[in-house]
Chain A
């Protein structure tokens, strides 16, 4: 036997186009909501992943713009000023230091890259200390170069794919005409290491005329050390800037916060529009069925029955709309990812929009709550219809 909920569902089928447009409006709101919160989760996770995979908590660089330092180091960029390598000895005197590794970033214009050439970044590292900090880096083939090696290179997963190199191949640094032997290719990490070409730091210093100079010193602090006190100590060193990875994360999150506020505003507007759409659709439907609702009451429907029936209509619209929107968000997550990458100042590697079960449930609940809220007024109006008014319209 039919029940009130089926009657509600069949009511929505009367004006299919109107119901579909309302569902579409709700779906778009749900899509925006899922993408926004998915971005909220995904961005922070990706950023944490990137920062954790740096392997060090503090980065010592030459004095300059802290934002530049933060974003360039995360992106594996260059353009930074140089520090003297002997600073390592001084920093190492501190008890808090567990490990320290020098890094030198250099960039070369490769005329054979892309249509009009492209930049290739090299990271000079110390084979004795760097691998110990980045223990999570695994090799697809080969291994790190030995500390004494000079003309060897290790390639990140994407760099090796782009350059089409395997272990044992020769790699040439453009402009410098230096041939290096590929001794290792890393597995994919989902971080900027994938695109990096690792070269022994001494070789890079020599080739680029930067002997005794580095662009940064990565410091891993011992477990029980007071990080804040140690940072203060580092600041006392001349011409040095200390970037804590916690600070970097906060700085980037602050920058991205503006974009988030913008997207949140759009989401709220979309939700309000969807809510008004639901109220409009259901209220119109109530007014169109004015007589019919009166008759339902005259044949035995209590005001609560009518309220439930109309409320169910909004619930169905919102539930279908939310499911469609969530589906869209999941299918189009890649496109959302690309769009977001274009508008935010720094995008970490990995998926920026991450849709998980709890987010799906949350969105569904939010949209249904909105639907229930939006349905109160039309349902109340319908429940208040007096059967006599409907019957009177028959005339005497």
Chain B
């Protein structure tokens, strides 16, 4: 059973008087355990495709199903609440700019998705957060604030946060875009381990060729089309 099936996706944006087709008739299947890298030039539609697959946006046309459950059917628009429910049950997001909450400690940042989603399983969330921080070498940093740790550590916190609800699929948009090569390699190793050892399906948008080499599958976009 495919984890994500996308069929004939189209997404258009209106910029002034012009309508730009950001995603043009994309069909894609993501299998469980895939490590899929989407690459392409700037403006080719990589992030737009990731947002559609991650249910952060509605496609204008086409269909998307997750675990064989139809999410978007021809032209349907889902409300923000419905999209949130789908996202938190299925996906973990890793961002280029980390987006940690500066007023919360590392540990509080990691448990945050559990605060919103797993309201009745606090103990489980706490235990899992501690384990993730330990696995990612951040145990000693758990009481620090984001401003007190390095960029590489911030991204590791971001990965722990993405994993706390134990999603089947990780979506990463330029996860090493703000890091030097040494830290990028560290993040690459972590993602590979998550894919190979923990069985996480990963879809990643990246410009980083070294990171792209880690993928089991690659697709390239140009003007919104898979080439």
Binding site for B on A (CB under 8 A): 1-4, 7, 10-11, 13-14, 291-292, 295-305, 386-388, 391-392, 394-396
Contact = CB atoms under 8 A, between A and B. Distances in A.
Contacts of B125: 1
Residue with the highest number of chain A CB atoms closer than 10 Å, among B51, B103, B108: B103
B80 A297 contact: yes
Given A1-B111, A388-B56, A396-B42, A299 B104 contact: no
27 contacts: A1-B115, A1-B122, A2-B104, A2-B112, A7-B104, A7-B112, A7-B115, A10-B104, A291-B99, A292-B99, A296-B116, A298-B87, A298-B93, A299-B93, A299-B116, A300-B84, A300-B117, A301-B84, A302-B81, A305-B116, A387-B56, A388-B56, A391-B95, A392-B47, A394-B95, A396-B47, A396-B48
A123 B84 CA distance: 82
Contacts of B43: 396
A14 B102 contact: yes
Contacts of A13: 103
B183 interface: no
A300 B162 CA distance: 10
A298 to B, nearest CB: 5
B45 A396 contact: yes
Given A3-B115, A300-B87, A396-B48, 8 more contacts: A291-B99, A292-B99, A298-B56, A299-B112, A299-B116, A303-B84, A394-B47, A396-B46
Contacts of B63: none
A396 B205 CA distance: 9
9 residue pairs, one from A and one from B, having the closest CB atoms: A300-B88, A10-B103, A300-B116, A295-B99, A396-B47, A300-B117, A299-B113, A300-B113, A301-B116
A391 B48 CA distance: 10
Given A298-B87, A300-B87, A302-B81, A396 B44 contact: yes
A305 B119 CA distance: 12
A386 B55 CA distance: 12
A43 B174 CA distance: 70
A1 B126 contact: yes
Interface of B: 42-48, 51, 56-57, 80-81, 84-85, 87-88, 93, 95-97, 99, 101-104, 108, 111-117, 122, 125-126, 161-162, 165, 173-174
B48 A303 contact: no
A13 B117 CA distance: 25
A57 B63 CA distance: 88
Nearest to B44: A396
A394 B101 contact: no
Contacts of A14: 102-103
Nearest to B162: A299
Nearest to A383: B80
A13 B115 CA distance: 20
Contacts of A4: 115-116
Nearest to A14: B103
A32 B80 CA distance: 43
Contact of B88 (A1, A299, A396): A299
Contact of A391 (B56, B102, B117, B126): B56
B116 A388 contact: no
Contacts of B115: 1-4, 7
Given A299-B116, A300-B117, A394 B48 contact: no
B12 to A, nearest CB: 15
Given A1-B125, A301-B84, A7 B95 contact: no
Given A295-B95, A297-B84, A298-B56, A388 B165 contact: no
B107 to A, nearest CB: 9
B96 A394 contact: yes
A2 B111 contact: yes
A244 B162 CA distance: 79
A288 to B, nearest CB: 11
A332 B162 CA distance: 53
A296 B165 CA distance: 14
Nearest to A390: B99
A301 B118 CA distance: 11
Nearest to A305: B116
Contacts of B45: 396
